[in-house]
Structure 1
């Protein structure tokens, strides 16, 4: 439910701007800030999974989700809404890695691709369905109803998890790395604020440059601490394996594209094509449904054929889909957007879960929680940065003396070009990973 609500607010941005009296650069923090806090929370899960039983973590997470949903449903100001979203973010930040931890702990290796694909189906389908869910309720009722409708299902999930989650547990007494946590949180916040300032003030503004420099300095400190073995929050040593390193980057850019484009399309549809929020959300529904069907099938394909085929097809599909969005921006219609998005979503689900499945086979069982935490942290921060960067590009165009429709169209086209570049990188990276794998075999 946390992942569904994650993007359900995207299509309500025009409504929130009017009702709460905030700008696009501010209101996008409803999603960007949420994803940022999810990322920060996920960075702690390697420690949490070794320190607390799975059932206790689940009950804490679902309680945060329940409380946050009630607060959001009652919110009458931007600050109250963000507080509720923060509690929901903590919930998602714990429960998503917990889901994969249960899979990696209980599922036999020969079936790992299918079950990881099924879990990835939920993770990728829910945020894509979010705009449809949010747009429909916002159109017929209000944005508050997005949270009230979800409440009964959250209660059912709480009861079901309490009754069924059981996992053997051996507690580890490793100390929590508070210094590393503070440093990593500072880096993530600084980079997100820098992106936001770029959209509001431009990349030449002193605020953007100052915040970016702070983020870069903090990254330098983290690198030094990691080299001396003094950064223990995330086990970055697993990235010494070059296949895992490149796989993590491909994974990051896939999710960057997935969440980012689910932000751009509804905004483009409403501001340029003048659709309602419900139609803007429904545009994403066919692609979301077909992508959900493909995800477990892609896992089966991975179990039988291995890494290369599904992951290469995935990234080639995203490259073609984003390129079509870019060259056809001026001629896009609701039908055309829907068709291209279907193609793009099917491609995304071919590779997303399989990247995590393959990476999990490259590490020992001792390091699986570390890999799980790292990949889920990257996944969520990719969503935060995807929304933030692409929103900043559109917001920058809105600073120019032109209509909102033209500004959104121009900004969206530039967003699509950014995604084309990332997809090109991913295709090259997949070819390199396969080459390295073949070299090891030979």
Structure 2
């Protein structure tokens, strides 16, 4: 039931689900910086420790498409309580993990909780928020999820250097427990219906994501398509085609793919995907460039990207207010121009001698643009669908957001691996790879904006 105004319970519902999503994201980025410590403590290789991120990414990508089914089958309150308790169990597994296997299991369990909570937050906004406040509240929700990547590397580096990597999990437990109590009070019980679970569709989708993500990871490590990565990517593409065909034949499909018949919605999803790919590629390249090419330590490198990340995160509610007042066109045009400007500046200066402070300054342009664009694209795209299909549209956006993480990281690591195989020192080849990545991302962003903007509506047409 839609509210006439933003009530305390609605705001608490958004914040409690947002905190749960925030915790999942901040652990992911905070733990990345502890990989060398984990490798030494548990005697595992670089390839093995990367499964801390890969396993989490896989399970979230598999769970998120279930959101449409879960929302119909279970009450929103029930889903939230289950997600929070599952996440707490995962945190406790990691906190007391005696070995790497238990640590990995904890990340797997946390992925289930995040996969349920992330789309739930946006579904609450779309269904319960006043129509003239949807943009603002979508911005608030995006702020809660965007602050995680902004604070994660610096937070993880500081906690692990002052205390221990296990304290990363200890400090999040009070927030998770508080969110559990607040969400249990605030989130409404929603109506449910007995819908049949599409087992075959979920198996096909799981095989799709497992194969594609593993193939992209293999591609990123080697820099070339070998027998392993090639077969995984081909198998993943085949499973995706089978899933699409299966969904057309089933009335109870996991996700209603007919949403893609709306051309404007599809253009929004494409631009959203490209923006996420660009952001994740930059998250990969900056630490490598700053540490390998410029010889700064990990903590200093994280500080250089922190201001831009915080700026982008706190622009999200502002972009939501712009959407409610002016429509989508103004924030998306301004945001797109800032994104392109930031990437162009990085590309031009990377061809010469890009300093750490230039990285920090130019990245601010990019993240300012992302702050204006990120939640606005999603909000505007979902308003193009009728209310019955918005849940499926939300699942599509959140699924593409997760999968873009693998694509973005693979794109950055592949280009960097190719460059580092060339002649010259490691620092020089890393600088060259950085330039290639910036150039490719600039081209992708220009293409995404060119495709998106003709389908964006102003307030007078909304």
Specify if TM > 0.5. Answer: yes
2:442 is the counterpart of 1:420: yes
Q: 1:302 aligns with which of 312, 319, 323?
A: 323
Shift in Å, 1:44: 0.5
1:90 matched to which residue of 2? 112
Greater mean alpha carbon deviation, residues 359-368 or residues 240-249 = 359-368
Task: Map Cα deviations across residues 170-213 of structure 1 (whole Å, 9 max, x no partner).
Answer: 21111111111111111111111111111333424111221121
How far did residue 359 of structure 1 move?
A: 1.8
Distance 1:124 1:60 in 2: 23
**In structure 2, how many angstroms separate the alpha carbons of the residues matched to 1:50 and 1:256?**
31
Q: 1:337 matched to which residue of 2?
A: 359
CA contact (8 A) 1:247 1:355 kept: yes
Shift of 1:233: 0.9
> How far apart are residue 19 of structure 1 and its match?
4.5
Displacement, 1:26? 4.4
Listed one character per residue, the Cα deviations across residues 95-118 of structure 1 (whole Å, up to 9, x for unaligned) are 111111111121111111111111
Alignment of 1:23-422 (within 5 A): 23-75=45-97, 77-167=99-189, 169-229=190-250, 232-329=253-350, 331-397=353-419, 403-422=425-444
Is the 1:28–1:388 Cα contact (8 Å) retained in structure 2? no
Assess if the C-alpha contact under 8 Å between 2:342 and 2:364 holds in 1: no
Structure 1 distance, partners of 2:89, 2:425, is: 40
Q: Could you say what the CA RMSD is over the residues aligned between the two structures, in angstroms?
A: 2.5
Alpha carbons of structure 1 residues 331 and 21: separation in structure 2 relative to 1, 3 Å:
farther
Pairing 1:2–2:24 present: yes
User: How far 1:310 sits from its partner (Å)?
Assistant: 1.0
Contact kept, 8 Å, 2:382 with 2:390, in 1: the verdict is yes
* Change in CA separation of 1:45 and 1:26 when aligned onto 2, cut-off 3 Å: same
TM-score w.r.t. the length of structure 1 is 0.91
Confirm or deny: 8 A CA contact 1:58 1:95 kept in the other structure: yes
Q: Which digits, 9 at most, give the CA deviation of each residue in 1:47-94, with x for residues without a partner?
A: 001111111111111112112122223335443322111111111111
Change (3 A) 1:22 1:199: farther
**Cα offset for 1:351?**
0.9
Aligned residues: 438
Deviation at 1:313, TM superposition (A): 2.0
Distance (whole Å) between structure 2 residues aligned to residue 126 and residue 361 of structure 1: 26
Tell me, yes or no, if the aligned pair for 2:332 and 2:373 is still in contact at 8 Å.
Answer: yes
405-414 vs 282-291, which deviates more? 405-414
5+ long unaligned stretches in structure 1: none
Say if 1:360 and 1:371, in contact at 8 Å, map to a contact too.
yes
Q: CA deviation at 1:342?
A: 1.5
Residues of 1 paired with 2:417 and 2:199: CA distance?
36
**Residue pair 1:10, 1:263 contacting (<8 A) in 2 also:** no
